[in-house]
Amino acid sequence: MDINGIGAFVSGGASGLGEATTRALVQRGARVAIADVNDDKANALAAELGDSAIAVHCDVTSEDDTQAAVTAAVEAFGELRLAVGCAGVGWAEKTVSKRGAHQLLPFETVIRVNLIGMFNVLRLTAAAMNDNEPREDGERGAIVMTASVAAFDGQIGQISYSASKAGIAGMTLPAARDLSSRGIRVCTIAPGLFDTPLLAALPEGARLALGAGVPFPQRLGFPAEYAQLAVSIAENRMLNGETIRLDGALRMPPK
């Protein structure tokens, strides 16, 4: 896929990995719908990026919200060729602790935002791409989802987060197979430890210690490195149905 001139949709596009992806796509000539539940951040980023970006409100857990955001993007750009799903939340709690059994509501919330929300973005952007005229190799579009190494190396207290991210990894190949006849590719990135707003809240010493545990390079990943891979997936038509770890060879310990 040639990124230049395409319409793209990035959920969670106003901060962290999503913001980096939005910026990378705009730098390569794409027009991007910054789909985010935080309207202030999305509007500020769109204003900074100018005519190449629009802000669209999007709570990925809401079918109506997500459909409206996708429709707004198609109306603004004429079509969508790429979607990148970056919206997500985390929660730390053991299955059983001194307080008793894991609360059900936080587990449901993480699954709803991370897994169901990602499926919402996947299915609705794919439906929009289905209307595109096919290009080289019959391609109509590409979708990049975001899992985590926690899908494979879930730590103590990560049961809800790991379940949600494992679900995304598990959707990848079936989605790619489902959409193959439509000319739409699907891949997933499973990041390791990245320097996102979530980790920015930690003390500097703690952040450095986390980065030192990565085999190489011994640091936290940069959001721009996630964005680089998302762009590469979009550009390489043979990448399809794959979940790619982006983690510096990190394998997470139990805790």
Q: Which residues are catalytically annotated?
A: 161
**Contact present, 29 and 8 (Cβ < 8 Å):** no
H helices of the chain, in order, are: 16-27, 39-49, 63-77, 104-110, 117-129, 150-153, 159-179, 197-200, 204-212, 223-235
Instruction: Report the DSSP beta bridge partners of residue 144.
Output: 84, 187
Per the structure block, which two tokens stand in for 244? 């790619």
Q: How far apart are CA 171 and CA 241, in angstroms?
A: 9
Listed in sequence order, the residues at least 6 apart from 93 whose beta carbon sits closer than 8 Å to its beta carbon are 102, 103, 106, 157, 159, 160
- Closest Cα partner for 242 from 160, 163, 143? 143
Listed in sequence order, the residues at least 6 apart from 154 whose beta carbon sits closer than 8 Å to its beta carbon are 161, 162, 166, 252
